Chains A and B, each alone.
Chain A
Amino acid sequence: MNININVNNNETLTEVTVNGEIDVYTAPKLKEELIPLSEKENVDMIVDLSGVSYMDSTGLGVFVGLFKNVRAHEGSFKIIGLSSRLQRLFEITGLADIIDISGKMEGEIR
């Protein structure tokens, strides 16, 4: 079980690419790397999960945490590249209604 996290920090945009599996073992690493990024004022964060083959609810927890943080700091947050299985996870949990997972690269959330 491996995870690869790539962060590209522009002046205006924080682009994150994740590859691998997000589960109870790898989620802490993801949390450790991404939570600090979400605590900047007005951060614009895009997370690309097209390289993620599996994610369990622990992983979902990390994204909920990111979303809450970004919102509290008046930033924007979106997730792109969800597989149909992951898409279902976001829909069941109602998160699809509050987090932008539309898959487009441009545009703003809230």
Chain B
Amino acid sequence: MDFRRSMESKYRELLTSYLKGGSEQALYQSQKFSRNALERNIPPEEMVSLHKNLMIELFPDDFTAEMQESFDILLEVMVGYGFAYREHQNLKHIQQELRTEMEIAANVQQTLLGTEVPCVDGMDIGAISVPAKHMNGDYFHFVKDENNSVSIAIADVIGKGLPAALCMSMIKYAMDSLPENRKSPTVVLENLNRVVEQNVDLTMFITMLYGTYNTASHCFSYASAGHEPGLYYDATQDEFSELPAKGLLLGIDKKTKYREYEKEVMPGDMIILMSDGVTESRTEEGFIERETLLSLIKKYLHLSAQGVVQNVYKELEKLQDFQLRDDFTLIILRRKV
């Protein structure tokens, strides 16, 4: 290696010039030298040994045997530092690999769980889902059937990151494998509950709200497994109300039964579904109040449903200083006037 060969003469130069005049310049050059040495993986013990040999050469009479031997101690000590440094380099390398793999996994997840916001006559639908970390533990899925009904699932896997994301994929496939004609909200939740109960670790569980919007009758029927309650916006009264729903989390008890609720949707009214990342948004001062969320939705009501969810997200993100603590999902279904 070029550097190794020239290293000795460079170091000799630095040392002699400093010992002669003690100039600041030599100290600055030493820092530069050590950066080069680090880049070329020169271990610290090798530097100590180089220093010792140069001292013997430069001061054959004054550099006593004791002084020489003292460097052997220093050298031994530096060996440990050398190991630590090499380990650090290895870990940095592994970390880089893991990061790349996580990015790939996040892409795969996106492809696996991908869903399109459907275009349905008489309806305006908007959805946004943003992960706090690489992998999203929130999940939503739209299905449009041939009768023009739209089914929607919104879920949150408790437990974050990779395990949660893997679990989400499992749920999606369990849901896809349910027969077409057995997709009433309660049936879907009861089926998924059995799947989750058998497969998932003790402290991991899933909240889900599953609903079907009938575009002929404009009736939204839904059931909830411990999910953050949805909201209903009444356009004529300009008022929000909570969509009542009760039901146990998925994966706790395999015999759990779910109840189905119905809500008739009037022209201009909206169904608003979300994950707890929306209601549990936190700022320096504390939680973001429900009123803040509602006033944000109102502020952008004149926009399309997609415009509303995107702008509400942007504002809440800003309030949280652009640091999401939890995955964030917000969905709006609006019946066109």
Contact = CB atoms under 8 A, between A and B. Distances in A.
Q: Which 7 A-B pairs have the closest CB atoms?
A: A94-B248, A93-B226, A65-B203, A65-B202, A61-B203, A57-B158, A61-B158
Contacts of A58: 158-160
Interface of B: 156, 158-160, 202-205, 207, 225-229, 246-249, 252-253, 276, 280, 287, 325-326
Query: Per DSSP, are chain B's interface residues mostly helix, strand or loop, or mixed?
Result: loop
Contacts of B287: 85
Nearest to B275: A57
Query: Per DSSP, are chain A's interface residues mostly helix, strand or loop, or mixed?
Result: helix
A64 interface: yes
B160 A64 contact: no
B205 A64 contact: yes
Contacts of B326: 56-57
Contacts of B253: 98
B229 A92 contact: yes
A35 B202 CA distance: 10
16 contacts: A24-B160, A56-B325, A56-B326, A57-B207, A58-B158, A61-B203, A61-B204, A64-B203, A85-B287, A93-B207, A93-B248, A94-B246, A94-B248, A94-B249, A94-B252, A95-B249
Contact of A94 (B247, B276, B280): B247
Contacts of B160: 24, 58
Contacts of A65: 202-203
Interface of A: 23-24, 31, 35, 56-58, 60-62, 64-65, 68-69, 85, 92-95, 97-98
A61 B158 CA distance: 7
Contact of B202 (A23, A56, A60, A69): A69
Nearest to A60: B158
Contact of B225 (A60, A94, A97): A94
Given A57-B276, A58-B159, A31 B252 contact: no
B1 to A, nearest CB: 45
Given A56-B326, A61-B159, A98 B203 contact: no
A65 B249 CA distance: 13
Nearest to B133: A24
A68 B202 contact: yes
A92 B228 contact: yes
A16 B91 CA distance: 39
A60 B207 CA distance: 12
A57 B248 CA distance: 14
A69 B201 CA distance: 12
Contacts of A68: 202, 252
